[in-house]
Amino acid sequence: MTDTITAPWSSEQVAALEQFQTASGMHPFTCGADQHTQSPSLVPSHSGWYCPDPACDYRQDWAHAFMVDPAAWPRPFGDRHGPTPEEVRGIKTLGPFPVSADTLADVQARQAWEAQAVADHAAMTRRRALAFNAVQPVLAKHDRHLPLSVRQEIADAVLAAIDNDAEATA
């Protein structure tokens, strides 16, 4: 384990920690909470790290000592901040396209595929939200109330039944 420093930190240390978080080429310190509306990368202050999400109260009062000395930062890629384009060409994504494409047609096909994936996800999210929002008026009509998680399960079950019926008739 490396040496650590604990807050309070000087202005110079805070500036170095901020630089480490954004420019070191290493994974930044992040909040351990499950859900965020903002980036989970911790923000340094004189009193320690804090999560930038207003809904999160995560705090951390320590850092690795090397983080305040840019000359001591580990350099997994040497003086570079990542792999070269030649190195990236060998890396594959989970999808059908390589990370780095050699031709314009490949780039355009990948962009089209990614745009379609984003559109499909947005449509699925909207459909699920509409189903969820349709459950409450029916419950209210009968003076019934259920937890949000149960309402979501009902909405998901209705959508699954609709999808299964559509597949059976296709």
Q: pLDDT tens digits, residue range 29-61?
A: 898 877 777 788 899 999 999 988 888 888 999
Which alpha helices (H) appear in the chain, and where do they start and end?
Answer: 11-23, 85-88, 104-141, 148-169
**Local structure of 50: helix, strand or coil:** strand
Per-residue pLDDT band at 102 (split at 50, 70, 90): low
Query: Could you say which DSSP state residue 27 is in?
Result: P
Structure tokens at 90: 């060998």
Q: In whole angstroms, what is the distance from residue 167 CA to residue 149 CA?
A: 27
As a whole number of Å, the end-to-end CA separation of the chain is 60
- To the question of pTM greater than 0.85 for the whole model, the response is no
Q: pLDDT tens digits, residue range 103-128?
A: 666 767 778 888 888 888 888 888 88
Q: In whole angstroms, what is the distance from residue 168 CA to residue 87 CA?
A: 47
Residues 47 and 82 sit within 8 Å (Cβ to Cβ): no
Per-residue pLDDT band at 88 (split at 50, 70, 90): low
**Local structure of 23: helix, strand or coil:** helix
Nearest to 20 by CA among 35, 36, 5, 37: 5
